[in-house]
Amino acid sequence: MQVSVESLGNLERRLTFSLPADRLESQVGGRLREIARGAKIKGFRPGKVPAKVIEQRFGEQVRAEVLDGLLREGFSNAVRQESLQIAGNPMIEPAAAEGGELAYVATFEVVPDFGDIDVAKLNVVRHTADVADADIEAMIENLRLQRRTWNPVERAAAAGDAVEIETWSQIGDERIPAEGVERGATVIGSGAMFGAIEDALVGLKAGDEKIAAIDFPTDWRVPQFAGRTVEVHLKATQVSEPVLPDVDAAFIKSFGIKSGDVEQFRSDIRSNLERELKGALMTRLRREVGEQLIAAYQSVEMPPKLVEGEARDMARQTVEQARRQGRNIEAPADAYLTFMDSARKRVLVGLLVGEIARRNQLMLDPRRLNETLKLIASTYEEPQQVIELYRNDPQLMNSLQGRVMEEQVIDWIAERAQHTEQPLSFSEAIRQ
């Protein structure tokens, strides 16, 4: 296969390669003949469908699939032949064909030259933590709070009580709402309402009214209130205290533990907390190693298109997250520019991790992959179904393989870097 490479900049390349046209036609013909043997088309007996009908029905799709496979194979072979390290996805376009060959031009960026990568020079803080009995007790208490019920009381409201309220506000000559009241409810101390409003509810009984002067921050979501002192008229219509369930067999069974056994309940909680802790410690280690890599190689030029693409993805994800939270925002076309610095750091770490894996011939550990998959599946009611879903979905499995491989390389770097251990409590470790 004839291949030529042209430099378009420090990190951009243009590669021209060719494919034999007869190979494409041969593979397309073979695939169509396979389809013809089992095709069920109305008006024809199975296996007796004319080739012309098969071509009309399936030809375009088959040709596209075969060509896509040949292009991937041809491009990969050309890249290996020229010893290129690709950064990101190539843009492949057809070029003028000659002598029975299909010619293509691929434009792409390459991994920069990082020089000598000596991870032993890095200094990494490795956090450690364990799940203590007190953490299990705290989780059980949280589960009780999630299942709490409410009992109306006549006494004054205190922290932890649920209060149903009617409100209206006065800002100068403006009343909000203009007529009537707004109704809502909050648990004092939960943060469901602005903190100063929740604080003002302490001491109110059902039927009590109060006017509170509330200072709202400049970025408050209600424009009329932002940065102003507002007279908020409050009326408590009901005060309720929480009633927490006992940790009995019925409570335990409600979490899927059929035996209702408290020791099994605690064991399951410990397993869940240990899984959460493992993920949190890996996140911390990934950040620690990433920061060290960024500091050591920040002067290396990054592929500009790859960085821009990452920045655009970050901007799009931010908008999507905001919309999931109920905020209908529209990002300007240049919103990605805000993320360029963060994107550059992400690309730098990602390329370095890949390069370290390549240079040291690090391979994906199938056992670690299976363990991670089982951990993910264990959080669902039907773990085996989740495992089968991953195994039958190439996109999901590729994503998981990438994550596990990254974690392997991060561990490999941390083991060889200079490192100090810093113990944390469980609550400190999972607080990101």
Q: Is the pLDDT of residue 24 over 90?
A: no
Supply 72's token pair.
């991937």
d(CA 295, CA 263): 48
The bridge status of strand 162-171 relative to strand 174-176 is antiparallel
Burial zone of 163 (CB within 10 Å; 0-12 exposed, 13-18 middle, 19+ buried): buried
| DSSP symbol at 422 | E
Cβ neighbors of 329 (< 8 A, separation 6 or more) are 319, 322, 323
Report yes or no: 74 and 104 within 8 Å, Cβ to Cβ: yes
State the average pLDDT over residues 152-178. 94
State the architecture of 3-110 in CATH terms: 2-Layer Sandwich (3.30)
State the average pLDDT over residues 388-404. 93
Which is more confidently placed, 181 or 20? 181
d(CA 24, CA 17): 15
The predicted structure's pLDDT at residue 247: 95
Using one digit for the tens of pLDDT, what is the confidence trace for 194-211? 999 999 999 999 999 999
Map out the domains of the chain as residue ranges. Answer: 3-110, 119-133+260-430, 149-243
Q: Is the pLDDT of residue 55 over 80?
A: yes
d(CA 326, CA 321): 9
The predicted structure's pLDDT at residue 98: 67
Which is more confidently placed, 370 or 20? 370
Q: Is the pLDDT of residue 215 over 80?
A: yes
Supply 126's token pair.
């490795």
Q: In CATH, what class is 149-243?
A: alpha beta
d(CA 199, CA 191): 10
Using one digit for the tens of pLDDT, what is the confidence trace for 226-244? 999 999 999 999 999 999 9
The predicted structure's pLDDT at residue 256: 86
| Coil, helix or strand at residue 230 | strand
State the average pLDDT over residues 364-388. 90
This prediction has a pTM of 0.76
Among 61, 63, 58, smallest CA distance to 35 is for 58
DSSP string, 99-168: TTEEEEEEEEEE--------GGG-EEEEEE----HHHHHHHHHHHHHHT-EEEEESS---TT-EEEEEEE
CATH number belonging to domain 119-133+260-430: 1.10.3120.10
The predicted structure's pLDDT at residue 99: 66
Burial zone of 321 (CB within 10 Å; 0-12 exposed, 13-18 middle, 19+ buried): exposed
Other Cβ atoms less than 10 A from the Cβ of 77: the count is 13
The reply to whether 149-243 shares the fold of 3-110 is no
Specify the DSSP element, H or E, that contains 319. helix 304-324
Among 397, 415, 420, 314, smallest CA distance to 356 is for 415
Other Cβ atoms less than 10 A from the Cβ of 278: the count is 14
Q: Is the pLDDT of residue 379 over 90?
A: no
Using one digit for the tens of pLDDT, what is the confidence trace for 60-117? 999 899 998 989 898 999 999 999 999 989 999 988 766 678 888 999 999 999 999 9
Angle value at C-alpha 126, between 122 and 130, nearest 5 degrees: 170
The predicted structure's pLDDT at residue 159: 94
Report yes or no: 300 and 112 within 8 Å, Cβ to Cβ: yes
Using one digit for the tens of pLDDT, what is the confidence trace for 337-367? 999 999 999 999 999 999 999 999 999 999 9
